[in-house]
Amino acid sequence: MTLSTPRKLLVSALLPAALTIALGACAPKPAEPAPEPMPAPTTSAPAETTPPAQDMPATDAAPGLAAECKAEAVQSLVSQEATEAVLAQAQADSGAKTVRALKPGEPATMDFRADRLDIALDEKGIIQSLRCG
């Protein structure tokens, strides 16, 4: 069976298009983006303590300005046990608005806060270092 001239033209025009479509289906697909990781639960994060009298500024800073922490004022607390009384003293002496005491491996946010005193503890709750941030 032989094809007529119009059919030959139609087949010769459609055959390359059909092959292109067929080969395109075999091409690798673009990589899908990796799924976003689930946020870690916040229930295990250490709690930050606030001053007992929240209406009172921690220092003589002007109203509306964040109080600056002064870690050099509390370096004498290194090697002491981090009891509630010691943490309260550290907060008062440093002028910090909040205190965050962290044992090794505890999760912590990486944000910098000039009004926060960070206290690094060892496994037994002994103060290893104090810094602002």
Q: Which domains does the chain have, with CATH numbers?
A: 67-132 (3.30.10.10)
According to the model, what pLDDT value does residue 3 have? Answer: 60
Confidence (pLDDT) at 130:
97
Residue 53, pLDDT score: 35
**What is the C-alpha to C-alpha distance for residues 114 and 132, in angstroms, rounded to an integer?**
6
Q: What is the pLDDT of residue 69?
A: 95
What DSSP string describes 26-40?
A: HSPPPPPPPPPPPPP
- Amino acid (1-letter code) at residue 54: Q
Query: Per-residue pLDDT for the chain (133 aa), expressed as one digit of tens each?
Result: 566 777 776 667 666 776 667 666 666 666 666 666 666 555 444 555 544 433 333 434 444 445 689 999 999 999 999 999 999 999 999 999 999 999 999 999 999 999 999 999 999 999 999 999 9
DSSP per-residue string spanning 43-79: GGSPPPB--SSTTS-SSSPPTTSPPPP-GGGGGGGTT
Decide: 105 and 55 in contact? Cβ < 8 Å.
no
